[in-house]
Structure 1
Amino acid sequence: MVTLHRGPSWKISVYGRDHGIPHFHIEGRDFRCSVAIGTLEVIVGSVPRHVLVEALEWAITRRRELLDIWEELNP
């Protein structure tokens, strides 16, 4: 697992040996979701709306970096 960003009470991570389409995880104390890198859509799980907005603001300009890291960890 690589943690790429931390918010006030959540983090964005990419896991190695993961499955499915390229995605990242938004995780907090009481929630976890997976977000597709290509579309920035939540594909599984749930996340508070304000956290999703903040996380997507961070991720939107870093899609290439997220994809590169996902591909490196999931050859």
Structure 2
Amino acid sequence: MPELSRFFGIVITMYARDHGPPHFHARFGEHEAMFDIESSQVLRGRLPKRAHDLVDQWSDLHRSELRAAWDALAQGTNPDKIAPLS
């Protein structure tokens, strides 16, 4: 489970050989949600509103890097880290 980014207590990860649609996981404390890369919609789980808004903002800025990370994992290679939200 590569960690792609970390900001404001939020940890963004992806799992190798995970099922589609392309997505990433965001953890904040005991909360976790799975976000669709293309739409940023929550596919499963829940984050507190402020954390959810930060993840939305971050994913909008880094959508192409998230796609590249998904593709890298699908090809069996490690994805690059993605800059945190600042």
User: TM-score, normalised to structure 2's length?
Assistant: 0.79
Q: CA deviation at 1:20?
A: 2.0
Q: CA deviation at 1:5?
A: 1.6
Distance 1:37 1:21 in 2: 8
* Alignment correspondent of 1:64: 64
Aligned residue-pair number: 75
* Alignment correspondent of 2:82: none
Q: CA deviation at 1:3?
A: 1.4
Task: Please give the residue correspondences for 1:8-19 in structure 2 after superposition, counting only pairs within 5 Å.
Answer: 8-19=8-19
Task: Please give the residue correspondences for 1:33-72 in structure 2 after superposition, counting only pairs within 5 Å.
Answer: 33-72=33-72
Unaligned runs of 5+ in 2: 76-86
Counterpart code for 2:46 = S
Counterpart code for 2:10 = W
RMSD, matched Cα:
1.2
| Structure 1 runs (4+) greater than 3 angstroms displaced | none
User: TM-score, normalised to structure 1's length?
Assistant: 0.89
Per-residue CA deviations over 1:9-65 (Å, capped at 9, x if unaligned) read 221111111112000110122111100001010011111110011111111021111
Secondary structure of residue in 1 paired with 2:61 = coil
Identity %: 31
Distance 2:49 2:24 in 1: 17
Unaligned runs of 5+ in 1: none
Counterpart code for 1:47 = L
Q: CA deviation at 1:71?
A: 1.4
Distance 2:47 2:23 in 1: 15
